[in-house]
């Protein structure tokens, strides 16, 4: 193959992706003087990556298969804009050999490995065969071509339960199931195949021994077209949920220097088996004693920033220089490890409701400044809409420090200072995770989050004196802004009156909990707040995103967001959602109870798991939806008879639509 067609200098780069990775690539490309082209679907017309790029091309409808996964439209977008190269980002077509080949055939530089390298290493089963020949240690498993249920069942029985069924072409936990008995195997394979086909267009499976109490360690590698291949240290990605990474850090706190060199050497050996060119990741699983190869990701990883922060290397810049045909600028012994970095993935999801994705408009987006070792890679802004059609990741927050403990503290401080409203996010969950004692001491494995879920998602504490006073202060401040009170006017003092004293009562509630009353006394003299038999003097000073509240001589910072009668507050005691009870009545309660089997979000019905007329136990599966690239199973809310199913496999259903009816058993 003519290398001048594979690697050559270019001036215009098309980014075949969306969200934070598209924004990330655009920033480095523009810093290198390149012209950038974004692509977008109809759902992403106003997206951040579209605004950042020099040009943008509409690909098609919201569904990924009609837009971001449509190879012909991507190639045509490059042709229309004069793009000479394509960066695939991660996810979507980033590990699709046919896309890499199509780019080459169209005369485009593909910023990544060749289609041949991708085929050899991008397939989990194919890469295992290569590693076996290269002498890289493997987890016991089956990665053959035969995919019939009998063959897979025999392989599972030979390996011994528990096993892991996983998509050969997959990643990010898609198409992956832990199976602990033979009885679970058939349904797990069917579900995993269906999810893999939807996410990657390929439903081939492999089976491997599930390592109990495993740790996930991966090594960043990058190679150039001149035969140079480097490893840039390792990352620990053990904190996962449903095989989806949540927290990543570099270097691994589990390995000592000797172990680090051993695993990095194994990674270079693995990538060297295909003379790898481009950025990639060699992934390993450890049982605490040995380290086994599990797969290679032939692309940039979501968690690449932690490697960048400890190495001082911009991996996207190096990717682009490799695509230019340049040699890597450093040798292996010139790469230095500096400090520690930790990354948290911020998702639009509700941890208290089984991490259900959250969609809607972002009404408030307040993240701390990128300073003091804090870095934020975001793909959204205030006013943007989160769509149900794509992955729910909003941003990544990364912290660097000389030591692991300080990096964790910096990351947690950044999370605590973040306020995103309009949608539900996992920010409080991430903060709870980073402050967990076992995370601090690295006493974890990949099942840690599931075991500690009740602790990590426990309800916020009840609002106390500080929060109730802050709620009143927030309402008064909001009312003053709405009234456009002139600066310096005595009316700026809450309800100032020429003579006498006045009272105003406020009643708040958290969820369906008890009401809590607080009274404002104002007029002549200082304003005070009364809670029970305590009267508290207070003053406020507005600042960006909230105000300082001085209560009985103690000043506290308060972040506040008000949406009608709903208040969000962040104080030193945590985050609080309060409802301001309408003083004039008119309160209405949501009538739809949890017994309604309805679509939680827009999605596609992919399986019906029960028949009409069947008697169901509470929690029995009824049907499965594909929502935001993940499967969600809807279950019977109580014991009863399945009276009717109001949908069919393949139906696209909207949020809130009733899908099935269960008649209670009456017991």
Using alpha carbons, select from 546, 351, 342 the residue that is nearest to residue 432: 351
Q: Judge residue 447's burial from the number of C-beta atoms within 10 Å of its C-beta, 0-12 exposed, 13-18 middle, 19 or more buried.
A: middle
3 state DSSP class of 119: helix
Per-residue tokens: 171: 């990643």
Query: Helix 19-31 and helix 315-324: axis angle, to 10°?
Result: 60
> What pLDDT, on the 0 to 100 scale, is given for residue 480?
85
CA distances to 124, 129, 206, 292 from 152, in Å: 16, 17, 8, 22
3-state helix/strand/coil string of 404-472: HHHHHHHHHHHHHCCEEECCCCCHHHHHHHHCCHHHHCCCCCCCHHHHCHHHHCCCCCCCCHHHHHHHH
User: Which residue, among 476, 478, 508, 481, has the nearest Cα to 495 in the 3D structure?
Assistant: 476
Strand pairing partners for 615? 641
Beta bridge pairs of residue 642 = 662
Q: Could you tell me the maximum CA-CA distance found in the chain, to the nearest angstrom?
A: 91
Per the CB < 8 A criterion, the answer to whether 305 and 343 are in contact is: yes
Q: How many C-beta neighbours within 10 Å does residue 29 have?
A: 25
Name the one residue in this structure whose structure tokens are 């005369």.
Answer: 107
Cβ pair 48, 381 in contact under 8 A? yes
> Strand pairing partners for 109?
85
Q: Which two tokens stand for residue 350?
A: 């509700």
Q: Region of 23 please: left (phi>0), alpha (psi -120 to 50) or beta.
A: alpha
Beta bridge partners of 574: 571
Q: What are the beta bridge partners of residue 235? A: 218
What is the H or E stretch that residue 138 is in?
none
Tell me which architecture the domain covering 465-580 has in CATH: 2-Layer Sandwich (3.30)
Peptide bond into 47 cis (omega under 30): no
Sign, CA dihedral 365-371-374-377, equals positive
Closest CA to 220 of 264, 165, 272, 276: 264
CATH superfamily of 220-239+253-456: ATP-grasp fold, B domain (3.30.470.20)
Rounded CA separation 250/310 (Å): 7
pLDDT at residue number 245:
95
The angle at the Cα of 447, spanning 418 to 206, to the nearest 5 degrees, equals 115
Quick one: fold of 140-209? Dna Ligase; domain 1 (3.30.1490)
**Running along the chain, 667 residues long, what does each successive block of 10 average in pLDDT?**
79 98 98 98 97 98 95 98 98 95 97 93 73 82 87 92 87 83 93 86 88 91 97 97 93 93 92 94 85 89 98 98 98 97 97 90 96 97 94 96 98 97 96 97 94 93 94 92 57 49 91 91 88 94 93 94 93 95 57 65 87 90 81 88 92 87 80
Q: Is 563 exposed, middle or buried (0-12, 13-18, 19+ CB in 10 A)?
A: exposed
Antiparallel, parallel or unpaired: β 244-250 and 12-15: unpaired
Bin 291: left if φ > 0, else alpha if -120 < ψ < 50, else beta. Answer: beta
Cα 440 from Cα 411, distance rounded (Å) = 12
**Domain limits, the chain:** 3-111, 140-209, 220-239+253-456, 465-580, 597-664
Residue 153 — φ and ψ, nearest 5°?
-65, -45
Q: How far apart are CA 481 and CA 332, in angstroms?
A: 59
Residue with tokens 């169901």: 616
- Among 419, 430, 348, 428, which Cα is nearest to 388's? 348
Torsions phi, psi of 215, nearest 5? -120, 145
Write 259-262 long-range contacts (CB < 8 A, 24+). 259/291, 260/233, 260/234, 262/291
CA 217 to CA 239: how far, in whole Å?
Answer: 11
3-state SS track over 43-62: HHCCCHHHHHCCEEEEEECC
Q: Cβ distance 391 to 628 under 8 Å?
A: yes
pLDDT at site 490: 38
* pLDDT of 72: 98
In this structure, what token pair is assigned to residue 303? 């968690």
Q: Helix 97-105 vs helix 71-81: angle between axes, to the nearest 10 degrees?
A: 30
Burial label for 403, CB within 10 Å (0-12, 13-18, 19+), is: exposed
Helix (H, G, I), strand (E, B) or coil at 38: strand
The whole model's pTM is what? Answer: 0.81
- CB of 298 closer than 8 Å to CB of 283: no
Q: How far apart are CA 580 and CA 582, in angstroms?
A: 6
Give the fold, CATH level 3, of 3-111: Rossmann fold (3.40.50)
Catalytic residues: 299
Task: Find out whether 204 and 148 touch, Cβ atoms under 8 Å.
Answer: no
Q: What is the pLDDT of residue 122?
A: 66
* CATH annotation of 597-664: 2.40.50.100
| Residues, the chain | 667
Provide the token pair at 387.
């769509």
Question: Which residues, other chains included, contact 74 with Cβ-Cβ below 8 Å and sequence gap of 6+?
Answer: 14, 16, 39, 59, 68, 86, 93, 99
Angstrom distance (rounded) from CA 207 to CA 601 = 32
Q: List, edge to edge, every strand of the sheet that includes 393-401.
A: 291-297, 278-286, 215-223, 229-241, 244-250, 340-347, 393-401, 374-378
Residue pair 77/37 in contact by the 8 Å Cβ criterion: yes
pLDDT for 629: 63
Q: Is 495 left (phi over 0), alpha (psi -120 to 50) or beta?
A: left
CA distance 648 to 133: 47
Instruction: Tell me how far apart the alpha carbons of residues 385 and 422 are, in angstroms, rounded to a whole number.
Output: 9
The token duo for 651 is 């139906």
| Cis? peptide before 162, omega within 30° of 0 | yes
């Amino acid at each position: 193959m003519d290398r001048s067609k594979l690697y050559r200098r270019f001036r215009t780069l098309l980014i075949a992706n969306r969200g934070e990775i598209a924004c990330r690539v655009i920033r480095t490309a523009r810093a290198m003087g390149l012209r950038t082209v974004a692509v977008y679907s109809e759902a992403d017309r106003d997206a951040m990556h579209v605004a950042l790029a020099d040009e943008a091309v509409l690909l098609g409808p919201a569904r990924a298969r009609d837009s971001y996964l449509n190879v012909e439209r991507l190639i045509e977008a490059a042709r229309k804009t004069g793009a000479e190269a394509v960066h695939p980002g991660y996810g979507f077509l980033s590990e699709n050999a046919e896309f890499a080949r199509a780019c080459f055939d169209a005369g485009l530089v593909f910023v990544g490995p060749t289609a041949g390298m991708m085929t050899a290493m991008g397939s989990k089963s194919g890469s295992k065969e290569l590693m076996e020949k290269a002498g890289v240690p493997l987890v016991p498993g089956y990665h053959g071509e035969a995919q019939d249920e009998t063959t897979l069942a025999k392989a599972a029985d030979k390996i011994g339960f528990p096993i892991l069924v996983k998509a050969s072409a997959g990643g990010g936990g898609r198409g992956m199931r832990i199976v602990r008995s033979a009885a679970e195997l058939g349904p797990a394979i069917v579900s995993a195949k269906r999810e893999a086909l939807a996410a990657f267009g390929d439903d081939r499976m492999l089976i491997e021994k599930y390592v109990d109490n495993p740790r996930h360690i991966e090594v960043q590698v990058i190679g150039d077209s001149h035969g140079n291949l480097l490893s840039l240290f390792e990352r620990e990605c053990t904190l996962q949920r449903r095989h989806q990474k949540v927290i990543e850090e570099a270097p691994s706190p589990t390995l000592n220097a000797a172990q680090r060199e051993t695993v990095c050497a194994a990674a270079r050996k693995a990538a060297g088996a295909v003379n790898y060119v481009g950025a990639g990741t060699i992934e390993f699983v450890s049982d605490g004693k040995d380290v086994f190869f599990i797969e290679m990701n032939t692309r940039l990883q979501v968690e690449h920033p932690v490697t960048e922060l400890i190495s001082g290397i911009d991996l996207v810049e190096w990717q682009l220089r490799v695509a230019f045909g340049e040699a890597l600028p450093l040798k292996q012994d010139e790469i230095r490890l500096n400090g520690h970095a930790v990354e948290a993935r911020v998702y639009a999801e509700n941890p208290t409701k089984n991490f259900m994705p959250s969609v809607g408009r972002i009404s408030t987006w307040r993240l701390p400044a990128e300073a003091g070792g804090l870095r934020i890679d975001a793909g959204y802004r205030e006013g943007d809409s989160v769509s149900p059609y794509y992955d729910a990741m909003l941003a990544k927050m990364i912290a660097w420090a000389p030591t692991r403990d300080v990096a964790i503290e910096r990351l947690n401080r950044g999370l605590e200072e973040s306020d995103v409203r309009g949608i539900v996010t996992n920010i409080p969950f991430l903060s709870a995770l980073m402050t967990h004692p076992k995370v601090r001491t690295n006493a974890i494995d990949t099942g840690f989050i599931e075991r500690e879920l009740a602790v990590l998602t426990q309800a916020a504490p009840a609002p106390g004196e500080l929060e109730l006073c802050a709620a009143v202060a927030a309402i008064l401040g909001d009312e003053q802004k709405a009234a456009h009170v002139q600066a310096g006017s005595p009316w700026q003092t809450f309800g100032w009156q020429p003579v006498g004293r006045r009272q105003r009562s406020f009643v708040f509630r958290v969820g369906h909990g008890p009401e809590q009353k607080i009274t404002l006394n104002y007029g002549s003299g200082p304003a005070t707040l009364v809670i029970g038999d305590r009267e508290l003097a207070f003053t406020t000073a507005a600042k960006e995103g909230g105000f300082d509240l001085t209560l009985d001589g103690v000043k506290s910072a308060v972040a506040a967001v008000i949406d009608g009668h709903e208040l969000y507050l962040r104080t030193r005691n945590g985050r609080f959602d309060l409802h301001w009870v309408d003083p004039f009545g008119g309160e209405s309660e949501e009538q739809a109870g949890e017994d309604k089997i309805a679509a939680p979000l827009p999605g596609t019905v992919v399986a019906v798991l029960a028949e009409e007329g069947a008697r169901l136990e509470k929690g029995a599966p009824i049907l499965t939806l594909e929502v935001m690239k993940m499967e969600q199973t809807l279950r019977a809310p109580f014991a009863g008879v399945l009276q009717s199913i109001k949908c069919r496999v393949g139906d696209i259903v909207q949020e809130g639509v009733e899908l099935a009816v269960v008649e209670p058993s009456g017991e």
